[in-house]
Structure 1
């Protein structure tokens, strides 16, 4: 029996093992990165500290060498993709409702990411971790649940949500992220299995001893007053601007690196430049998690915060622009944390009563993430789940929405191309629903009632139309004549070729009016089997203006269907 809806007991039961498996995949990836750190730096500390075991002049070489290795893996993955002509990214697989995530390309992209991350590239770990989780879900769907009547793309979506939840311990935000980005909707029927899979993944992590808030702000209360509200608005607006700037920097970086044709050389050059920036501060290396913790602990003064903000944005643009495989989540969170604390610190120095400047790190984290990802609901929930601080709900809501709106108004493209596709579809749908028929009118054949049926046949043959419209001297619509009716009546000797068309005219023919919406025109065609409908000026005058074709409506609807 086929499953007609995503929300059913079978889907929910499948979500549980998928969530468990995805969490183990992310855990394995994390342990592999830690193993590389042990081999390279003989340390299990964060890359920002571990790098210092080598002399400073080795830092650019280490990050650059990692980039070269990453480039070789990525070049092979790209060549496989070109041969297979298939999509690798799990978001594209879910959005296109494809059957599987390609195995070899995903693995080689993951190896490229490991080389970049392990050597200190300014890139997030969540991208490859979620991609590998999605691959795990795809394989489970193909081999473990092949007898279950569930589209494999749905299982991939569950695994992706579970993988992201394992990284950030934020099940609800992770489920909504996949719904917002991949599906373009947050419909309950699709959201519930994602929540089940994501929650199962977090419970698995808890059972393995990894149960804690990701960032240490659970016990601090955000006091909402006019000053903090004003700062929240400022953080939201500036985060939108900064998110847009980061996206622009990444785009410009990609353009510059595109001149380097060799992927190993491209990633190596990117790594070399990031390593050079690390000479100023090793805190720009890696995804930025440990640095966020230090920011929240108040370890930085204002000049250091400003310098780190500029360096981290530059390093991230270089890593992403050189095609290093990874995510932008944690780098965006770090940029947001820096911006939030900077704004609050400047406000305090200006004399405003700001009791806790460090709380604005969380507000900035959510806001910049919303601007960069164009998924404000996900960003809002993610920072709340990562801090377990409900007092931050209202300021984070304000800041994320403002930041996303600013980035959208500045026409910033999301870091996820599928988001742009969803926006384009939504715009096309809105245009379809609000355009009027007058914009789609084309000329149609029309005769006066005294003209002959022979003339009607000639016009029909010339225009290739089944019906010819009949209008009077003033252009008012009277009805139509059917070419089939004319042919039948001539064969039955009821009329001749010289008979006037009024003898075979049908006065009760459906029509539409120029000020009706295109949506109403679509509904009118749904009631008939015609290819064209006459367009009149209004129901009172009924003046003939031309025709509306079904083809023109289909072309307009194609943009969002």
Structure 2
């Protein structure tokens, strides 16, 4: 009977629809709570870069710092709760089948911590807690799914995570690819189908409510496939990769620096104070950077301001993330990329290299930097296309994201998401396994000549602890094997004596492998027999015996990716 794939069943598809609706609802609720918080603190519910200006500039470090302290206190309790339960709250761990469900307590505490950080102006994205809460709701819904549906909890969490991310950026396909790339790694296409439906349902829900327009409309300009724009795209991609590497490295160093402060509230307070101090130069670096991107596409910034925003945003986000503030890095990465791309576009226009709109390169920079930082190029390509609704960007986005990701990877950058490192390690281990030659792992085997006695075969077997003794001629050519069990059987039956030559009980048709074959081919050879060892020959023509391949050695080589 054919086994039904639960991820591709009708049950999974039908469940994806309510999960998508719930995911959209959670993100809307989180936005409303942030707006109410800002209304209470600043008297206005618009973007933090505008709301903060209600207070005088010398109060900004204090406000962001106090917010960091409160957020740190909540995060302290979340971490304490995780230590007590020995369960991490990251939804990615659940999707990767490391946890049975998303824990409620620590997830809510982390979301509250993130809300305080975001509302007080920390340079952090909103998508992190939104996706986490959506995943939590998906985990809750999974508890009420009948067992006969045979739908794994990880699939429900994956649907909800994609729905939450899609609701934030109105990018269902990019959200689907993100979950597939980051959480699943190399996964079957069937597993993404209910995730995609959930993400689409979430965006349709947002449209029904009234959120129909793309986040960054860029439909009135067209990218021309010409030499000048393509050269600028490649240059931008290289710089984006370097910026991505620098940002990840700076964030790691910032985290190491802030970790010297034992108290979470003090740690986040210091991070908030640092961001608030940078905001004195320009408050545009506060928050996730969405307002800056909108203004940038409207042409409100000149080259010096873009350069200032680029440098300060990298530092501010590194401080917020390094201090432990809970949130996402998507929108900050998009802002960094937009400023970098805008600079490249303006400079290329001034030099006469291209007459294309600089905001096209701003969009390309958004995807390139996001790709370099997240190391998920497919997601970055699709997300920027969905956010701008400009299909002419597909080709330059593909170039920019691939180049930027490769530059960051070649710089041996640490990974933003630990799961990426896990997937890369497994993929590298599998590649190494498939390419390693059998000759690199062979061991010596017990060998005799055809004229040697049965008694010598028994001694060799006892010394090497092998069931089979290999028989070779004077030119080291493999002739066959003798089975110790067969020898004992023949001796007891008095068909042979201990002094009989082993050629009387030799088996000439015995499975073997060659030294130039790969470990993968060796694995396939073992799958067809019940032996623990196989003789290894130099090549099919000479058939000289060079050693033995053991099943244990193969398992040891394969354990890093199995």
Q: TM-score range by the shorter chain?
A: over 0.9
Return 341-350 or 286-295, whichever deviates more.
Answer: 341-350
State yes or no: 1:169 paired with 2:170: yes
| Cα separation, 1, equivalents of 2:508 and 2:224 | 72
Kindly report which structure 2 residues correspond to 1:208-223, keeping only aligned pairs within 5 A, or say none: 208-223=209-224
After superposition, the Cα gap between the structure-2 partners of 1:144 and 1:540, relative to the gap in structure 1 and judged at 3 Å, is closer
Alignment RMSD (CA, Å): 1.5
| Cα separation, 1, equivalents of 2:187 and 2:444 | 43
What TM-score, normalized to structure 1?
0.97
Kindly report which structure 2 residues correspond to 1:306-321, keeping only aligned pairs within 5 A, or say none: 306-321=307-322
State yes or no: 1:26 paired with 2:30: no
Shift of 1:226: 1.9
After superposition, the Cα gap between the structure-2 partners of 1:386 and 1:186, relative to the gap in structure 1 and judged at 3 Å, is farther
Contact 1:5–1:189 (Cα < 8 Å) also in 2: no
Secondary structure of the 2:534 match is strand
Kindly report which structure 2 residues correspond to 1:98-247, keeping only aligned pairs within 5 A, or say none: 98-185=99-186, 187-247=188-248
Look up the match of 1:374: 375
Shift of 1:188: 2.4
| Cα separation, 2, equivalents of 1:278 and 1:416 | 28
Look up the match of 1:467: 468
Shift of 1:389: 1.3
| Cα separation, 2, equivalents of 1:355 and 1:94 | 42
Kindly report which structure 2 residues correspond to 1:45-84, keeping only aligned pairs within 5 A, or say none: 45-84=46-85
Shift of 1:186: 5.7
Shift of 1:398: 1.5
Look up the match of 1:343: 344
Contact 2:223–2:356 (Cα < 8 Å) also in 1: no
Contact 2:6–2:149 (Cα < 8 Å) also in 1: no
Secondary structure of the 1:414 match is coil
| Cα separation, 2, equivalents of 1:145 and 1:77 | 31
| Cα separation, 2, equivalents of 1:373 and 1:471 | 57
Secondary structure of the 1:143 match is coil
State yes or no: 1:431 paired with 2:432: yes
Contact 1:341–1:357 (Cα < 8 Å) also in 2: yes
Look up the match of 2:533: 532
Return 26-35 or 468-477, whichever deviates more.
Answer: 468-477
Shift of 1:429: 1.5
After superposition, the Cα gap between the structure-2 partners of 1:97 and 1:192, relative to the gap in structure 1 and judged at 3 Å, is farther
Contact 2:221–2:357 (Cα < 8 Å) also in 1: no
Return 282-291 or 349-358, whichever deviates more.
Answer: 349-358
Secondary structure of the 2:159 match is helix
Contact 1:87–1:93 (Cα < 8 Å) also in 2: no
Kindly report which structure 2 residues correspond to 1:391-410, keeping only aligned pairs within 5 A, or say none: 391-410=392-411
Contact 2:129–2:327 (Cα < 8 Å) also in 1: yes
> 1:273-325 deviations in whole A, cap 9, x for unaligned?
11111111111111000110011111111111111110000000111111111
| Cα separation, 2, equivalents of 1:104 and 1:276 | 33
Look up the match of 2:391: 390
| Cα separation, 1, equivalents of 2:346 and 2:15 | 49
What TM-score, normalized to structure 2?
0.97
What stretches of structure 1 of length at least 5 have no aligned partner?
A: none
| Cα separation, 1, equivalents of 2:329 and 2:96 | 20
Query: How many pairs are equivalent?
Result: 561
Contact 1:171–1:202 (Cα < 8 Å) also in 2: yes
Contact 1:72–1:263 (Cα < 8 Å) also in 2: yes
Contact 2:289–2:331 (Cα < 8 Å) also in 1: yes
Contact 2:237–2:401 (Cα < 8 Å) also in 1: yes
Contact 1:425–1:560 (Cα < 8 Å) also in 2: yes
Shift of 1:3: 4.0
Secondary structure of the 1:6 match is helix
Look up the match of 2:414: 413
Look up the match of 2:250: 249
After superposition, the Cα gap between the structure-2 partners of 1:169 and 1:97, relative to the gap in structure 1 and judged at 3 Å, is same
Shift of 1:97: 5.5
Shift of 1:223: 3.0
Shift of 1:83: 2.6
Secondary structure of the 2:13 match is helix
Contact 1:176–1:186 (Cα < 8 Å) also in 2: no
> 1:312-364 deviations in whole A, cap 9, x for unaligned?
00000111111111111000000000000111112222233324212211010
Contact 1:457–1:483 (Cα < 8 Å) also in 2: yes
Look up the match of 2:299: 298
Secondary structure of the 2:96 match is helix
| Cα separation, 2, equivalents of 1:43 and 1:338 | 27
> 1:251-277 deviations in whole A, cap 9, x for unaligned?
111111121122111111111111111
> 1:412-438 deviations in whole A, cap 9, x for unaligned?
233111111111111112112222111
Secondary structure of the 1:546 match is strand
Secondary structure of the 1:479 match is strand
| Cα separation, 2, equivalents of 1:305 and 1:367 | 17
State yes or no: 1:363 paired with 2:364: yes
After superposition, the Cα gap between the structure-2 partners of 1:3 and 1:100, relative to the gap in structure 1 and judged at 3 Å, is farther
Shift of 1:409: 1.5
Contact 1:99–1:151 (Cα < 8 Å) also in 2: no
Shift of 1:87: 3.2
Shift of 1:144: 4.0
| Cα separation, 1, equivalents of 2:309 and 2:543 | 70
Shift of 1:546: 0.6
Return 486-495 or 45-54, whichever deviates more.
Answer: 486-495
Secondary structure of the 1:548 match is strand
Secondary structure of the 1:451 match is coil
Secondary structure of the 1:533 match is strand
Shift of 1:132: 0.7
